[in-house]
Structure 1
Amino acid sequence: MSISVGFPNAGGITIGGKSLATINALNDARAEAETQLTTGKEGDSKQVRTGPVGQNPGTETQADDGGNQSITVKMLLKRMKELQEQLRQQQQQLAAAQAASYPTPEAKTTAVMAIQGQIGETNGALMEVTGNLVKELAKGAGSGSVVNTTA
């Protein structure tokens, strides 16, 4: 047994407080941002980069794998690099969302605010990892061991 329901004015339906046009615009913006991320070139002027000024992405200094760092410190440094990369990608998505055209100003605001919320969450996670790393390094510094601060 199935039931079929028809709506005479489907444009007036809202899902989660958002109109169908807003939802479609958000989906289109996300698809466009994903397309730009996957097809973006290294020299693309629209690409947002983070990090030291003038440093090329491939020339960053690598921390040595010396045995003087605890496993916890190594894991925290690895997680920090992952979060920094995630933050960089989210900043690119934000730039793409801000540059994209939307059917309504509300759709653009919603798309931009959603990405800003993700950036805020990533920043929070990055601060938490940084705090834990500082605590862990302080433990090691108190014992008189040498701490490698290159990252």
Structure 2
Amino acid sequence: MSQTTETTPGISSVERRQGDQPASAARKLNLLVVDDNQEVGESLAMLLEALGHHAVVVRNWQMAVEQVKLCVPDAVYLDIEMPGISGIEIGRRLHHNPETANAVLIAVTGHSLPMYMDDALAVGFRHFLVKPVRLEDLATTVQSVLAG
């Protein structure tokens, strides 16, 4: 079961999608997907690209650091459970880096445990997605990034 949680209340995802249709067509986002499982990362990137945006997949924090030097992403989809440094810690580092502080952080995990959600929101993540991620949940996160 996938879910998306925003830290700020507001318009429902259906209203947001209808209201922001022209903006999504006009602006193509640069998105970064960080997931140690290559197939999962590539699947997520394909869905994001199907929504009309550019997505790059990396498999660990070192590759993420190198990628953001090449192109600062509008949003970063971070797998929470990865070997070495967790997605929460990568998000913390991105959030505190002046070059990437404005990138929207989106947690992606196979577990919907409250502790993961609490940790992610405390670091500055704006959304929390549970795998397998649904296309409509991805569309909601993309619309949120477009809306600012």
Q: Using structure 1 for the length normalisation, give the TM-score.
A: 0.22
| Greater per-residue helix proportion | 1
Q: Using structure 2 for the length normalisation, give the TM-score.
A: 0.23
Q: Which has the larger radius of gyration?
A: 1
| Greater per-residue strand proportion | 2
